[in-house]
Amino acid sequence: MRTTVSAPTPVVVAIDGPSGTGKSSTSKGVAARLGMAYLDTGAQYRAITWWMLTRGIDPADTAEVAAAAEKPEIVSGTDPLAPTITVDGTDVSTPIRGAEVTGAVSAVSAVPEIRARITGLQRSIAAEAARSGAGIVVEGRDIGTTVLPDADLKIFLTASPEVRAARRSGELGGPQDAARLAATRADLVRRDTADSSRTASPLARAADAVELDTADLTLEQVIERVGAMIEERRSA
Ligand SMILES: Nc1ncnc2c1ncn2[C@@H]1O[C@H](COP(=O)(O)OP(=O)(O)O)[C@@H](O)[C@H]1O
Ligand SMILES: Nc1ccn([C@H]2C[C@H](O)[C@@H](COP(=O)(O)OP(=O)(O)O)O2)c(=O)n1
């Protein structure tokens, strides 16, 4: 008698939460382990912001930002081991992490025309990953609420501003003095407030999302917990 092993059902997973809660590290780690695709939606908002800044467009000029929303071509590579992001064919993975883009991205991503454009891209990438059989982990701020309201699994990560600031500040290298921690914390809180209070698709926990506080968990523990939830959905 021959036994057939069926491939796991492709699942679409939405991971949302504020900055520094571990969305990117967790999503990449879990997608790599489970052979799924991975999409960093923050990188897309950063990429379109980078394009606006390089064209001399003022991020605070909503009308100008809206008028340019359809212009740049943004392409995201979804391999969790080597995610890529290009704008009009240029690799922007390094400049989109700079302070200038970080300072402007909340303003640009609050513009409805920008959100409509990027949401369309995200939905088509997720649909393609579901069709291909791999499934996908999509991380951001409004994935469970707006982009993929029918996701098979929604997770909302949290951690206190102090923990998140210590993590982010650690990424910058160098000594962890109190003044730098306080400045990093203030930047995080400012961005959280802007992202949560905008009218167009704010950062929010979907009513059906599982909330996971990552403050007292190692990254490995978070990946294991999220991985177990995905496995459960795959076999359901
Ligand atoms: N559970 C955790 N414990 C300790 N550090 C973590 C944990 N999760 C993520 N980190 C670290 O915190 C920083 C921010 O994580 P990241 O995944 O970029 O967060 P987000 O995508 O939510 O902004 C990274 O340096 C990452 O390695
Ligand atoms: N789905 C998303 C993802 C990100 N954004 C916006 C709001 C965020 O402050 C920026 C940058 O997101 P990103 O995930 O790169 O931010 P951090 O990794 O937390 O620094 O993009 C958004 O509006 N909607």
User: 170 CA distance to ligand 1 centroid (A)?
Assistant: 10
The total domain count for the chain is: 1
Binding residue per annotation — 22? yes
User: 153 CA distance to ligand 1 centroid (A)?
Assistant: 21
Q: Compute the mean pLDDT over every residue in the chain, rounded to the nearest whole number.
A: 94
Q: pLDDT class for 178, splitting at 50, 70, 90?
A: confident
- 3 located within any domain: no
- Separation between Cα atoms, residue 6 and residue 175, nearest integer Å: 51
Domain containing 164 equals: 12-235
- Which residue has the CA at smallest separation from atom 24 of ligand 1? 167
Specify the CATH number for the domain of residue 187: 3.40.50.300
- 2 located within any domain: no
Looking at the CA of 42, which ligand is closest?
2
- Which residue has the CA at smallest separation from atom 16 of ligand 1? 22
Which of 50-64, 135-149, 176-190, 196-210 shows the lowest per-residue confidence on average (mean pLDDT)?
Answer: 176-190
Specify the pLDDT at position 180: 85
- 5 located within any domain: no
- 121 located within any domain: yes
- The encoded tokens of residue 91 equal 């690799």
Specify the pLDDT at position 3: 54
- Which residue has the CA at smallest separation from atom 7 of ligand 1? 219
User: 5 CA distance to ligand 1 centroid (A)?
Assistant: 36
- pTM summary value: 0.95
Binding residue per annotation — 20? yes
Among 44, 219, 221, 225, say which to mutate for ligand 1: greatest number of ligand atoms within 8 Å of CB. Answer: 219
Specify the pLDDT at position 173: 67
- 26 located within any domain: yes
> Does position 174 have pLDDT exceeding 80, yes or no?
no
User: How confident is the model over 26-68, as pLDDT tens digits?
Assistant: 999 999 999 999 999 999 999 999 999 999 999 999 999 999 9
- 6 located within any domain: no
Specify the pLDDT at position 229: 98
- Which residue has the CA at smallest separation from atom 6 of ligand 2? 42
